[in-house]
Structure 1
Amino acid sequence: MKWSEICIHTTEEAIEAVTNILYEAGAGGVVIEDSQDLQQEWTSAEGSIYSLDPADYPMDGVNVKAYLPVNSFLGETVEEIKQSVNNLLLYDIDLGDGRITFSEHNEEEWATAWKKYYKPVSVGERFYVSPTWADFQPEDESRHVIELDPGMAFGTGTHPTTILCIEALEKYLPNKADVLDVGTGTGVLSIAAAKLGASKVLAVDLDHVAVQSAQLNIKLNKVQDIVEIRQNNLSDNIEGTYDVVVANLLAELVIRLSEGGVADLIGGNGLLIASGIIKPKKDQVVTALARTGLSVIDEMESGDWIALVAKKAD
């Protein structure tokens, strides 16, 4: 079977929004090539330093590549994608040049080629993140191993925004905590929380494919007795209170989450960990949190990304 690779050159800020458009259009998989990754020093789970091949990455910005089956509907699908990407400008999302290019690949080429982007790596101080197909034997037995099958469109758990959330969980998650994971994606943050000692985790995502991906990974990591997966729009109709709410979302969605009453879901001494925030939009998020009674107590950054830790204002 032949697949058409559609490549959208955009910005880090637009990655999640563009990715959502692509899998809603029926993409058979998504690869993210971020030029910022070339500036980082990557440490494998075995402790060795490895470098990425610059030929696989754009000189600047981000390439988001999706794979669509070559069929009679391809032309219409591509036009819908173009229109949806252009509509992101209405939400004040910086698309960069938004250049779209195409190429064709055989299924066998795509199915194996994308795996070169994903190796076992050390994350934070207490985790390894490894693909399920890797024959990985951790050298440091004090670290937890999170095995992920990233599925078709939900990443490898090593994006800076995810790493910031894991580091914040390592720092702030109390033992036996009740956790709400909003926008769970692969479920990696829920798995991390469970392995760090959470007693109960509710993980929600609006997209049913993300829910299926998270359910698979929860079982792979044997934390299904702790983590519940549910299809849900942000924190709508969720009841009770939580010790930690973690939300790895776009800045606009973090603002919408705060306006939707997330503060009411945070217990008296509880915390909100919010990531996926591009630096230029940090002040907007801080202001939105303050309007709903949440005060930022810590800020973490990686490249152009910010994670905020907030609690209810005294």
Structure 2
Amino acid sequence: MKWSEICIHTTNEAIEPISNILHETGASGVVIEDPLDLVIDKEQMYGEIFELNADDYPKEGVYIKAYLPLNSFLGETVEEIKQAINNLVAFDIDLGLNEITLSEVHEEDWATAWKKYYKPVQISEKITITPTWEDYTPTSEDELIIELDPGMAFGTGTHPTTVLSIQALERYIEKDDLVIDVGCGSGVLSIASALLGAKEVFAYDLDEIAVKSTQINAKINHVNERIITKQNNLLNHVSVQADVIVSNILAEIIVRFIDDAWNNLRDGGYFITSGIIQAKKQMVLDQLEEQGFEIVEVNVLDDWVSVVARK
């Protein structure tokens, strides 16, 4: 099958509204090529996952790319996209150059080209995440390897919120702990917990795809016998008593089950939360303290916040 790549040369300000337009017109995902990615300070990261080529990036502004089926409706779809983007001016959104180009892409090229951007990346003192197709040799006896297939769903496991979560798990999990992972997604936090010594991990997610993804990734990493994965809404009707509960979701969702997390933690247990933006940090801290939690750590990476609280 052939696809058409639509590329919009615009501004950072316009990324969110244009991405929304592309999604609404049938694009299953977008690619953002921002020259700031070439110079961003990553001192807090243990390793890089991208091998970026400056020639692929604009000198100013950003490229927003999406893929549309090359069919008889393409012309109408592109005109619809152009009109919707031009209408953003009415909302005082700076579109910059607002140049739109089209190019043809073969499905077999599209299906594999993105893999070149994903390389092994060390995200904590002990843990390195590597894509399943990469041959990687550990650099030390203590290094723990998590293999993920980013094409399955839920990303590569190297988003700042995931990195913060795994770094916290590494500090607080003790051998034979029981861990609950709320909103397990790809299962990367459950797998990390098992590799770090957890005796048993209960992984919950409302999304059926997430449940299946966690099960598959657990098998790939040979820890499926210690990870119990179930479709569930947060901690509703969960009676398990855990030493550690970890949740990388959103602040608005975290505050909804703080009381359940308290009830499902043993005395002295840790509640590790991530996925919190700076503007919502205090809301989460206030709710945790109101419940009775002691705030042990607040960590920040690329404007994302993670909180470790103790019962």
TM-score by length of 1: 0.75
1:243 paired to 2:243: yes
Deviates more, 1:266-275 or 1:107-116: 107-116
Partners of 1:144 and 1:41 in 2: how far apart?
Answer: 22
Partners of 1:62 and 1:154 in 2: how far apart?
Answer: 24
User: Residue type of the partner of 1:176?
Assistant: D
Work out whether residues 131 and 147 of structure 1, in 8 Å CA contact, stay in contact via their aligned partners in 2: yes
3-state SS, counterpart of residue 204 of structure 2:
strand
Offset of 1:60 from its aligned partner?
9.9
Q: 1:242 to 1:60 in 2, by over 3 A?
A: farther
Partners of 2:256 and 2:94 in 1: how far apart?
Answer: 27
| 1:291 alignment counterpart | 290
| 1:39 alignment counterpart | 40
Q: 1:215 to 1:38 in 2, by over 3 A?
A: farther
1:282 paired to 2:281: yes
Partners of 1:4 and 1:64 in 2: how far apart?
Answer: 14
Work out whether residues 153 and 186 of structure 2, in 8 Å CA contact, stay in contact via their aligned partners in 1: no
| 1:311 alignment counterpart | 310
Work out whether residues 130 and 148 of structure 2, in 8 Å CA contact, stay in contact via their aligned partners in 1: yes
Partners of 2:258 and 2:58 in 1: how far apart?
Answer: 35
User: Residue type of the partner of 1:301?
Assistant: V
Deviates more, 1:272-281 or 1:56-65: 56-65
| 1:255 alignment counterpart | 255
| 1:83 alignment counterpart | none
- After TM superposition, list the pairs within 5 Å mapping 1:192-203 onto structure 2: 192-203=192-203
Q: 1:288 to 1:164 in 2, by over 3 A?
A: same
| 1:84 alignment counterpart | none
1:225 paired to 2:222: no
What per-residue deviation string (whole Å, max 9, x for no partner) do you get for residues 245-284 of structure 1? 100112222222326x221111111111001111121111
Q: 1:7 to 1:238 in 2, by over 3 A?
A: farther
Q: 1:145 to 1:170 in 2, by over 3 A?
A: same
Work out whether residues 50 and 119 of structure 2, in 8 Å CA contact, stay in contact via their aligned partners in 1: no
3-state SS, counterpart of residue 255 of structure 2:
helix
3-state SS, counterpart of residue 256 of structure 1:
coil
Partners of 2:191 and 2:230 in 1: how far apart?
Answer: 15
Deviates more, 1:243-252 or 1:229-238: 229-238
Partners of 2:279 and 2:12 in 1: how far apart?
Answer: 16
Work out whether residues 10 and 64 of structure 1, in 8 Å CA contact, stay in contact via their aligned partners in 2: no
What per-residue deviation string (whole Å, max 9, x for no partner) do you get for residues 2-39 of structure 1? 3466889989xx8xxx99x96xx893x67676756741
Partners of 2:4 and 2:116 in 1: how far apart?
Answer: 19
| 2:89 alignment counterpart | none
Partners of 1:275 and 1:163 in 2: how far apart?
Answer: 9
| 1:168 alignment counterpart | 168
Work out whether residues 43 and 49 of structure 1, in 8 Å CA contact, stay in contact via their aligned partners in 2: no
- After TM superposition, list the pairs within 5 Å mapping 1:200-211 onto structure 2: 200-211=200-211
Partners of 2:227 and 2:144 in 1: how far apart?
Answer: 17
User: Residue type of the partner of 2:242?
Assistant: Y
Partners of 1:73 and 1:228 in 2: how far apart?
Answer: 46
- After TM superposition, list the pairs within 5 Å mapping 1:259-270 onto structure 2: 261-270=260-269
5+ unaligned residues in a row in structure 2: which ranges? 81-92
5+ unaligned residues in a row in structure 1: which ranges? 80-95
State the Cα RMSD in Å: 4.0
Work out whether residues 38 and 54 of structure 2, in 8 Å CA contact, stay in contact via their aligned partners in 1: no
| 1:116 alignment counterpart | 116
Structure with higher Rg: it is 2
Offset of 1:42 from its aligned partner?
8.3
User: Residue type of the partner of 1:287?
Assistant: D
Offset of 1:40 from its aligned partner?
3.6
Q: 1:152 to 1:180 in 2, by over 3 A?
A: same
User: Residue type of the partner of 2:308?
Assistant: V
Offset of 1:237 from its aligned partner?
1.9
Partners of 2:302 and 2:210 in 1: how far apart?
Answer: 26
Q: Give % identity.
A: 47
Q: 1:48 to 1:111 in 2, by over 3 A?
A: closer
Q: 1:302 to 1:55 in 2, by over 3 A?
A: farther
User: Residue type of the partner of 2:299?
Assistant: M
Work out whether residues 161 and 306 of structure 1, in 8 Å CA contact, stay in contact via their aligned partners in 2: yes
3-state SS, counterpart of residue 225 of structure 1:
helix
Work out whether residues 44 and 120 of structure 1, in 8 Å CA contact, stay in contact via their aligned partners in 2: no
TM-score by length of 2: 0.75
Partners of 2:234 and 2:222 in 1: how far apart?
Answer: 25
Work out whether residues 161 and 248 of structure 2, in 8 Å CA contact, stay in contact via their aligned partners in 1: yes
